[in-house]
Structure 1
């Protein structure tokens, strides 16, 4: 069936999210590897994605690991450099869908304050019809609860949702609920999927 609404992940779909790349550039690959082995930065970030305060969580972690205090604080102080650049073709696809009257939703693991910060740099994040941001919901993908929230709040049947995400586990849960899905590996593949679903023409998806 043709989808009634399209659901976008944000990180690595609309905005590149590559913390290791940032640290490799700033402190060098060897020091970055040592820091990531010493500090579970992704667990720290997951706390933020679950609703913990962005600044407080990162600064508290920095104090727990004084040898890495300055570098850990960069996760907060230079956060926008971890979340760049935007992916222009994906943004065009978002806007093309909206211009056709197709509802577009964001479903993303994102902190409350960090999402607001991102939206101040990337105004297109305000263009979704609905936002399902994990920090506000206090549940992260791939927990089935966050998918249930989308279904219940939007009123769109699972089989009528088309969802793209770059993480296989997140796609697998959506599939298990009957959602239509696309594993994002680049914007052209996503464009082709939207054309194949009858939502955009080839020209509109360019």
Structure 2
């Protein structure tokens, strides 16, 4: 069990602070729920989308997938063309935690799996992102959580601000368990974010929230 109390918080974005869900768009395009869920599980699925988060251009991804599923080409193209309709806004409970940490002066960073092509929309439309000391985005780094190398790069970037930072001084909050587990295996504290109340309680336990 770690004896060092964390002093720096690293946030995931999607599912913690920003509400992103492809269903928001595709419920408009595929009325039948069974058909829609099949499409999102088998065509434009999370594994396919994650490759864009890792740096693959959407043009290449759409072209390749459309060749495999030509009957769904118009829906595949919409995944990028109407991507902004997948964002439901910020998650109020997560933002409340972010605001409370910022108010108390806790250094805040972000580590997100996000395409370099779509992230500028979030950057331009969600001003709170500018309050992070740094945002490490997978699409620019060509690395995807839970690859240990992206956590190492995050630590390097944090050390540009706080040169003596050690892994045990960090706490990572992510709604994907394997991403939180990967940080923990590297010596970070980590929270698998399931509810804002549970996350806030853990941060309070560490003295990061008043």
Same fold (TM over 0.5): yes
Q: What secondary structure does 1:10 align onto? A: coil
CA RMSD of aligned residues (A): 1.9
Structure 1 residue 143 corresponds to structure 2 residue 147: yes
Q: What secondary structure does 1:112 align onto? A: coil
1:77, distance to aligned residue in structure 2 (A):
2.0
Please give the residue correspondences for 1:120-135 in structure 2 after superposition, counting only pairs within 5 Å: 120-135=124-139
Q: Name the residue aligned to 2:119.
A: 115
TM-score, reference length from structure 1: 0.88
Q: Name the residue aligned to 1:204.
A: none
Q: Name the residue aligned to 1:42.
A: 46
Find the aligned partners of 1:139 and 1:196 in 2 and give their Cα distance.
32
1:137, distance to aligned residue in structure 2 (A):
0.8
Q: Name the residue aligned to 1:12.
A: 15
- Give CA deviations for 1:108-131 in whole Å, capped at 9, x if unaligned: 100112111122222222221111
Find the aligned partners of 1:57 and 1:15 in 2 and give their Cα distance.
26
Q: What secondary structure does 1:74 align onto? A: helix
- Give CA deviations for 1:106-158 in whole Å, capped at 9, x if unaligned: 11100112111122222222221111110111100001111111122212211
1:176, distance to aligned residue in structure 2 (A):
0.8
| Contact 1:44–1:57 (8 Å) recurs in 2 | no
TM-score, reference length from structure 2: 0.86
Instruction: Structure 1: give runs of 5+ residues left out of the alignment.
Output: 202-206
Pick which of 176-185 and 122-131 moved more.
122-131
1:13, distance to aligned residue in structure 2 (A):
0.5
Pick which of 171-180 and 60-69 moved more.
60-69
